[in-house]
Amino acid sequence: MDERIRQYDEKMKKAYDFLQSEFSTIRAGRANPHVLDRIRVDYYGTPTPIQQVGNVTVPEPRMLQIAPWEKNLIKDIEKAILASDVGITPSNDGSVIRLVFPELTEERRKDLVKEVKKKGEESKVAVRNIRREGNDAFKKLSKSDEVSEDEIKDLEDELQKLTDKYIKDIDKAIEEKSQDILKV
């Protein structure tokens, strides 16, 4: 792959990877430890991810269990979960915190699918913006007489193929996540 194209490939890959990380935080009715990825707990004055202050397990398909390494963190972890957008009320027995995921209603599933599609569209826009950025850079190259018009055309074609590949990958990811959410 041409070095001039590689940088745009890396940027498009980052946009795709970001979409995947966004999808992992959308819950689909089953317990997924990744819904806690963005939640930070105040650990001795430092915002720290929950996974670094306790053990997160999935004892049942619709339950997460958090066993803090220090018992005095239970209240802080509960507070952080309640302040987040997870939408689940934690319960504790003094040593572990449990998050029970309710069954998703049909309406909630449809809302989540809309959210997935919206995030997918934002990702596609990011990929297209990267393509435009690349095409603009190639046009500047042609004005500086360093590269022939044929070479510029080849670079633009290669960038378009790359864009098509990532758009297709994003569409596939949207479809898979939507199916996952709609599956009862």
Query: Residue range 67-77: average pLDDT?
Result: 88
Tokens 């027995």 found at: 93
pLDDT at 149: 83
Domains and CATH numbers, the chain: 3-24+105-182 (1.10.132.20), 33-100 (3.30.1360.40)
Per-residue pLDDT tens digits for 16-47: 999 998 887 776 667 778 878 888 888 888 88
Please give the model's pTM, rounded to 2 decimal places: 0.72
Region of poorest pLDDT, from 56-65, 68-77, 119-128, 145-154:
145-154
> Strands, E, within the chain: which ranges?
40-43, 46-49, 54-60, 63-68, 91-92, 97-100
Per-residue pLDDT tens digits for 105-160: 888 888 889 999 999 999 999 999 999 999 998 888 877 767 788 888 888 999 99
How many C-beta neighbours within 10 Å does residue 99 have?
21
Which amino acid makes up residue 86? V
The rounded percent of the chain whose pLDDT value lies above 90 is 31
pLDDT at 32: 77
